[in-house]
Homo-oligomer: A and B are copies of this chain.
Amino acid sequence: MIRLQKKLFYNGNIYTMSAEQPIANNVLIEANKIIALNVESAPEAELINLAGKTMLPGFNDSHLHVLNFGMNLNIIDLNGVSSIAELIELTKNYLAKNDVKAEQWVFGWGWNQELFKEKRMPNRFDLDQASKQIPIVLTRTCGHLAVVNSKALNLLDISAKTEVTGGKIGKDESGSLTGIFAENALELVYKWRDNLDVSGIKSHILKAAKKLRKMGLTHVQTDDLASTNAGYQKVMQAYYELADENNLPIKFNLQLRLKTPAEIREFLSKNSLSKYSDYLTLGPLKILADGSLGAGTAALRKNYHDQPNNKGKLAYSYQEMYNLIETAFKNNLQVACHAIGDRTLEVYLAILGQLQPKFNQQLRNRIVHCQISDYKLLNKMAELNISADIQPAFTATDWQIVAKRVGKEREILSYAWKTMFDLGINAAGGSDCPIETPAPLWGISCAVNRQDKNNKPEGGWLPWQKLTLTDALKLYTKNAAYNCFKENEIGQIKEDYLADFTILAGNPYKISETKIKDIEVAGTVVNGNLVWN
């Protein structure tokens, strides 16, 4: 049945994201490829009547954690919790409902003390109210900090004297443990997380990927290697098997969290950077260079506004980061560096300024998050051709805390998405899921409105940094494709491009901008395969 290989999408609002031809009347695909736009007729094609729906290039999340997302589908969801009392209640309910046994570890994710009416972090004694028999670990929304109960502390065998390089174990004024663990110290508590086998990892990835596709994503760039203590080899094996079995519902780029030059070399001796299939590509190297703003662990050039003796902390010394990046460059591996604080940005840019010319390369090295910035740093980024991977949803989550953390003067130059566009920095959009919901339409809404779900603040936060809808759509299509070297195959609806589309029930151009987030995803096309939601 060769004729069924062709499909004609017509009778919709088709926005291509291509400057040469911004809209199309219809799109003809054959197997996994777009073969023509605006055809007069297509006698051999299956006709797909879009019936007034909106079709866009498939959405692509430039930075998230698919495996974590899958694992989190099985843990306590603490997003949006508004008090410590509610946190305790939710945890108690989860234990009862899931019939959790004593000494079986339980994990939760998503709390944010800024949303608590108590305006403080929870501690071990709060969590003891949920259980004194079951060890509990509740991670803050940022992923850089967690609180555990007393049972967990006992099982972890941690004393007030335990120290972890690059990490923090919370103590109160009297020196007693508070139950708080931050940064590298988290490894102590996460080692108890399910020690997954390959089939378990595959099941989490699949479950997550199906959910992501429903939300309109056809491609993700995921940072999963360090998400379990199973070791990255098992994660890689899981992805290879899923690809070999043609079982991946969407396309993946793996962001490689490798922590030392030796680890990079070892990884590359066993894995090839060339494209594995349309569905699986490896790279870039992911470097986690600082913490988060909420936890006060992002590295700043000057002290936190509300913490006079704290500048945060770099996860690597200058030389360590230099060595990591040099190793990547020697192996022709692109680098994506998590940088939330301006100090991290400064150090990373300085190293790239040294190393890029030396290797005479243009690997589209990337900055993930890029939150606290100023015009000079952004200019330097543009000069060095560094791309950004931004999380528009952070504007909704963070708008009330940024001035508190860094003061007004640094606030007004931060989360500067529009300035990036103005300077010609290629900015791609992502969710950092499970930090934020992976729904691209929420990210797009945030980029356009810079408001939270209650449409606050009025007029949007730092409103001169709002993006147009088209630029916001580009974040998740054309620009996300560029950052992973796929701008000639996905991200636009164009002849010879792969047939990856997201189909929306409503037209975001025709409604009020605050309604964009409510548009339903009607379906997706991945490599020519159409699935209606």
Contact = CB atoms under 8 A, between A and B. Distances in A.
Contacts of A468: 418, 464, 466-468
Contacts of A458: 510
A459 interface: yes
A25 to B, nearest CB: 9
A510 B464 CA distance: 11
B375 A463 contact: no
Contact of A459 (B22, B422, B466, B507): B507
A130 to B, nearest CB: 43
Interface in A63-121: none
Contacts of A469: 463-464, 466
A19 B422 contact: yes
Given A464-B509, A468-B468, A509-B464, A19 B375 contact: yes
A512 to B, nearest CB: 9
Contacts of A510: 458-459
A448 to B, nearest CB: 9
Contact of A19 (B21, B419, B424, B460): B419
A412 interface: yes
Nearest to A511: B459
Contacts of A509: 459-460, 463-464
Nearest to A376: B20
Contacts of A433: none
A475 to B, nearest CB: 14
A501 B190 CA distance: 57
Given A458-B510, A459-B510, A412 B464 contact: no
Total identical chains: 2
A15 interface: yes
A233 interface: no
Nearest to A378: B19
A23 interface: yes
Contacts of A424: 424
Contact of A464 (B22, B375, B422): B22
Contacts of A15: 464
From A15, A419, A458, A459, name the one whose CB has the most chain B CB atoms within 10 angstroms: A459
A469 B462 CA distance: 12
A470 interface: yes
A311 to B, nearest CB: 23
Contact of A412 (B22, B418, B419): B22
Nearest to A467: B468
B22 A470 contact: no
Contacts of A464: 15, 22-23, 468-470, 509
B470 A418 contact: yes
Interface string A449-462: 00000000011101
Contacts of A23: 412, 464
Interface string A494-507: 00000000000001
Contacts of A463: 469-470, 509
A229 B242 CA distance: 80
Nearest to A448: B468
A469 B509 CA distance: 16
Interface string A420-432: 0010100000000
A419 B22 CA distance: 10
Interface in A161-194: none
Contacts of A418: 468, 470
Contacts of A466: 468-470
A23 B411 CA distance: 11
Interface in A49-64: none
Interface in A402-423: 412-413, 418-419, 422
Nearest to A466: B468
Contacts of A467: 468
A464 B13 CA distance: 12
Nearest to A460: B509
A460 B458 CA distance: 23
A516 to B, nearest CB: 12
Contacts of A459: 507, 509-511
Nearest to A473: B464
Contact of A20 (B375, B422, B462, B470): B375
A469 B23 CA distance: 24
A117 to B, nearest CB: 28
A412 B14 CA distance: 13
8 contacts: A19-B419, A20-B375, A21-B413, A424-B424, A464-B470, A464-B509, A466-B468, A468-B468
Given A20-B375, A466-B470, 13 more contacts: A15-B464, A19-B419, A21-B412, A21-B413, A22-B462, A424-B424, A459-B507, A459-B509, A459-B510, A463-B470, A464-B468, A464-B469, A467-B468
Interface of A: 15, 19-23, 375, 412-413, 418-419, 422, 424, 458-460, 462-464, 466-470, 507, 509-511
Q: Which 3 A-B pairs rank lowest in CB-CB distance, beginning with the nearest? A: A459-B510, A464-B470, A463-B509
